Chain A
Amino acid sequence: MSQETAQHIRQKYGLEETTLMDRVRENWIGYLFIVPTFVMFTILFYYPIVRGIFLTFTNTRLGEAGSFVGLENYSWLLTNDLFHFAFGWTLAFVFGTTLLQLVIGLIAALLLSELRSRWRDWTSAIIMSPYFSAPLAGGVIWMWFLNSDFGMLPMILSDFLGVQAPSFLADGVWPYVSLIVAQSWHDYGYAGIIYAAAIVGIPREQYEAAALAGAGRLRRFRDVTLPHLVTPTIIILALRTAWNVAEFAQPFELTGGGPGTRTMLMSILTYETAYVNLQFSRAYTLGMAMILVSMTAAVFYVTVIKDEEELYV
Chain B
Amino acid sequence: MKVAIIQFPGSNCDWDAEHAVHDVLGIPAKRIWHKSRLPSETEAVVVPGGFSFGDYLRCGAIARFSPIMSDLKEFAEKGGQVLGICNGFQILCEAGLLPGALVRNDCMEFRCINQPLRVENSNDRFNREKLGPSLSLPIAHGEGNYRADDAVLSDLETNGQVLLRYEGNPNGSVNDIAGIRNPGGNVYGMMPHPERAVESHHPTQDGLPVLAAFVEPIRKTQSVELSPS
A and B held together in a complex? no
The interface of chain A, by Cβ under 8 A from chain B, is none
Query: Which B positions have Cβ atoms within 8 angstroms of A?
Result: none
